[in-house]
A and B are shown apart, each in its own frame.
Chain A
Amino acid sequence: MRIDYNHIRPQIDELLMSYSDLKEEDTENNASIILFGRVSINRSYNGFTIDKKYDIKILIPLNNDELPDVWDIGNHIDKIYIHRYPDGKLCLETEAFIAFCFYNGYSLLQWMKNIVEPYYFSYEYYSRFGEFPYGDRGHNLVGIIETYQQIFKESDCAKVYKLLRAISQRKYRGHLPCPCESGMITRKCHGRLIYPFISDDYLFSIAKRDYSRLCEAI
């Protein structure tokens, strides 16, 4: 996903407007935009509410194939928490999931509301109850497979593998049998769900890389 400055500018302004204590770092750097400051997160799930403030840094890369990242600069997240890198970077989600959200039209504000805020909520919930409110991804490849299972709405890992193999060949034939080998034609089976990963360059590159890692592991 290549973020172009002119395209992202209004989204950054929208983000700064929603989180009034978030500031843009003044820099000559053309490779990225950095936002930092305090965000207020007031969310609830399953009868549990958090309403807290967190100091964060957001890095939005420009003109390269990378996704925005978040750092816990206020050290609110326990250093031994498994979904936080040692340098404070948050393991928000798998690349495939976040890229798919942007592909589906997420703005930076939606990314913040549906990816970053639920991450903090999930951390607080886990700290309190010892369980993740809406689950967490497994380590390494397990988490990647789970992501495609969710996106392809397919619980069978073998079928997910076959779908990824078909994506990696980058051929879409809606009228031919679905690569999952269900016996149905692709258009009436997983077609709609795998098509974005074939048609979009960025999603394709992620899926192809994930498929290669899967093959290496097998």
Chain B
Amino acid sequence: MNISERQKDFLSVIEKLDIPPTLFKNAQSKYEALATFLGEHGIEATIYPQGSFALGTVTRPIKKADSPSYDLDCICQVSGTKLEYTPSDLRNLIENTLKDNDTYGGKLVRWEECFTIEYADVNGVSFSIDLVPAVSDSDFKKATLITKGLNPQIVDTSIAIPRQNSKKSYCWISNNPKGFKMWFDEINAPFLMYAQKCEKRGIFEHASVEDLPKEGRHSALQRVIQILKYQRDTYYSKFANGDEIKPISALITTMAARIASNYEKKDCSVFELLEYVLNRLEMCIHQTEMTFEQYSFQYDNSPVLLYKNGKWNVPNPADPEDNLANKWSEDDRIPKSFFKWVTVIKKDLFEVMTQKDDNQFGVFMENSFSDYDPNNPIIKKYRKTRVATPINASTASKPYYCS
């Protein structure tokens, strides 16, 4: 049993699931072309990635694992502020311009908050761009955010997005993906610097580091977020209503980054940081068992996942009015399953990883990754030729309890 070899093997599976750099470049050229097209039709707009695409924490979707399809979220920010448009006008402007065009019209799918443009497969990997129309937020809204203590530099990039509030009517909602990225990049910078230093020294064994674009490099923090997202997707896929109760990516990213910002060792390994993050998340449950004062004294005086007056709260770092855990207080299945999940993956990653039995580690790998990459040789390395016999639910016993 060699723990560092197992950790390396685990990370190599994650690395293999990364978005291919060619696809990344291809997507980039596609959204740049889209911005040029809009410009040629009189719409001055900048298109930029948001969410995991912008933060370097993209994970392969669990569905269609054989022919992965990545959904890349982009903001299409039209020049001007929300005072110059109605939300419906902004949507119509983008939609009408795209749908009349031969290149984009046929690929366009209309959703409540965005338009999806499907692109053809590249080497068996397909992707689509979710385009969210936006304009800059009003100066009044920005000034309000600054009074709430937010960094003016972050506030400056705040945008307004049309959201459907009835069948035909739209309202504005605030968002700030650029501000979020700025906040995240600042926390990630020292971790990324260390990762780059390691790459230069050849500690990581990329096949061709020179070819790896900037976006392809991952810090320990980015890897931790990806691992949490993969583990979440696998775990919650077992529930009939998993999508309703799973912790959203923005929440995982925010909590992991906030915890990492307090971690002093920036030259840490992925697993060191992961253990620290999971320990901090796991302890948050104790807030429900005592007063906040007791919790602060015993555990942590600024938990990333705050529980006060029966409500869970994780403020969006780019908009304190936006509680990323707003659904948690309405549906207690969400916190309940979340803390169970944290305990389970902690056990998997730090107990099973260190168990003597290679096969148990193989089972963990199989449970983690067989939905994404069933033929990965790393799984076979640990599982050898052992194949589990499937259970037929229609004939399987259901445990009984007779008092």
Contacts and interface: CB of A to CB of B under 8 A. Distances in A.
Given A48-B367, A83-B401, A134-B391, 14 more contacts: A42-B387, A45-B393, A51-B360, A51-B388, A114-B396, A118-B391, A118-B397, A119-B399, A121-B396, A130-B340, A134-B398, A140-B401, A143-B400, A143-B402
Nearest to B364: A49
A135 B398 contact: yes
B367 A136 contact: no
Contacts of A134: 391, 393, 396, 398
Nearest to B240: A131
Interface in A42-67: 42-52
A137 B391 contact: no
A128 B344 contact: yes
Interface in A111-146: 113-119, 121-123, 128-137, 139-140, 143, 146
Interface string A94-107: 10011000000000
Contact of A133 (B360, B362, B393, B395): B393
A49 B371 CA distance: 12
Nearest to B366: A49
Interface in B319-368: 336-337, 340, 344, 359-360, 362-363, 366-367
Nearest to B370: A47
A45 B391 contact: yes
Contacts of A115: 397
Contacts of B359: 51
A98 B399 CA distance: 11
B389 interface: yes
A163 interface: no
B238 interface: yes
Contacts of A90: 399
B398 A132 contact: yes
Interface string A56-95: 0000000000000000000000000011000000111110
A80 B360 CA distance: 25
B276 interface: no
Nearest to A129: B238
B386 interface: yes
Contact of A131 (B239, B370, B371, B395): B239
A42 B357 CA distance: 15
A44 B360 CA distance: 14
A143 B367 CA distance: 31
A91 B363 contact: no
B124 interface: no
A212 to B, nearest CB: 15
Give the top 5 A-B pairs by smallest Cβ distance, nearest first: A83-B399, A44-B388, A118-B396, A134-B393, A137-B400
Given A83-B400, A129-B239, A121 B391 contact: yes
Contacts of B400: 83, 91-94, 97, 136-137, 143
Contacts of A129: 235, 238-239, 340
B interface SS class? loop
B360 A47 contact: no
B165 interface: no
Interface string A136-163: 1101100100100000000000000000
B149 interface: no
A47 B386 contact: no
B390 interface: yes
B402 A43 contact: no
A146 B399 CA distance: 12
A140 B190 CA distance: 60
B169 interface: no
A118 B398 CA distance: 8
Residue of A43, A46, A113, A134 with most chain B CB atoms under a 10 A cut-off: A134
A136 B397 CA distance: 8
Given A83-B401, A136-B400, A49 B388 contact: yes
A118 B390 CA distance: 10
Contacts of A140: 401-403
Contacts of B393: 45, 133-134
Given A83-B399, A97-B397, A50 B388 contact: yes
Contacts of A83: 399-401
A137 B398 contact: yes
A44 B359 CA distance: 15
A94 B337 CA distance: 30
B237 interface: yes
A91 B401 contact: yes
A103 to B, nearest CB: 14
A209 to B, nearest CB: 13
A137 B396 CA distance: 12
Contacts of B340: 129-130
A48 B391 CA distance: 11
Contacts of B367: 47-49
Interface in B41-73: none
Nearest to B388: A44
Contacts of A52: 360
18 contacts: A42-B387, A43-B388, A43-B391, A44-B391, A47-B371, A49-B363, A51-B388, A91-B402, A93-B400, A97-B398, A98-B397, A114-B395, A122-B398, A130-B336, A136-B400, A137-B399, A137-B400, A139-B401
B377 to A, nearest CB: 18
A51 B363 contact: yes
A161 B395 CA distance: 23
Contact of B399 (A48, A51, A122, A130): A122
Contacts of A48: 238, 367
